[in-house]
Amino acid sequence: MDTDKRINCFQCKHFFVTWDAAAPRGCRFFGFKSLQMPSIVVKNSSGRPCEAFTPKNTGANKLAKSQHEKLKKTP
């Protein structure tokens, strides 16, 4: 991964949002919650960009939703 490119955790399947006001963001892959974006915590802790980034499978989600809509319309 390019070291100058910022990783967008919102596009990662491991990212999650918590109800904890002190640590509202988390990473399921590394198993932590933080006030900062997880990719920034990983970069600051290890000195390397996050290598666990995995894009969300949004195409499959859209396909599943459209198939669900078709099933709802079928008598």
Distance, CA of 25 to CA of 17 (rounded, Å):
5
Q: Judge residue 6's burial from the number of C-beta atoms within 10 Å of its C-beta, 0-12 exposed, 13-18 middle, 19 or more buried.
A: exposed
Question: 34-63: per-residue pLDDT in tens?
Answer: 999 999 999 999 999 999 999 998 766 666
Q: What is the DSSP letter of 17?
A: E
pLDDT at position 21 is 94
Share of the chain above pLDDT 70, in %: 72
